[in-house]
Chains A and B, each alone.
Chain A
Amino acid sequence: EDQVTQSPEALRLQEGESSSLNCSYTVSGLRGLFWYRQDPGKGPEFLFTLYSAGEEKEKERLKATLTKKESFLHITAPKPEDSATYLCAVQAMEYGNKLVFGAGTILRVKS
Chain B
Amino acid sequence: DAGVIQSPRHEVTEMGQEVTLRCKPISGHNSLFWYRQTMMRGLELLIYFNNNVPIDDSGMPEDRFSAKMPNASFSTLKIQPSEPRDSAVYFCASSFSGITGELFFGEGSRLTVL
Contact = CB atoms under 8 A, between A and B. Distances in A.
Given A43-B91, A43-B93, A96-B56, A101 B43 contact: yes
Interface string B86-104: 0000010100000011111
Interface string A10-48: 000000000000000000000110100000011111100
B25 interface: no
Interface of B is mostly: strand
Interface residues on B, range: 10 to 19
Interface stretch (B11-19, B64-72, B76-84, B105-113): B105-113
A46 B104 contact: yes
Interface of B: 4, 42-45, 48, 55-56, 91, 93, 100-108
Top 10 A-B pairs ranked by shortest CB distance? A43-B105, A101-B43, A97-B100, A32-B101, A34-B101, A103-B42, A91-B101, A44-B105, A46-B102, A43-B91
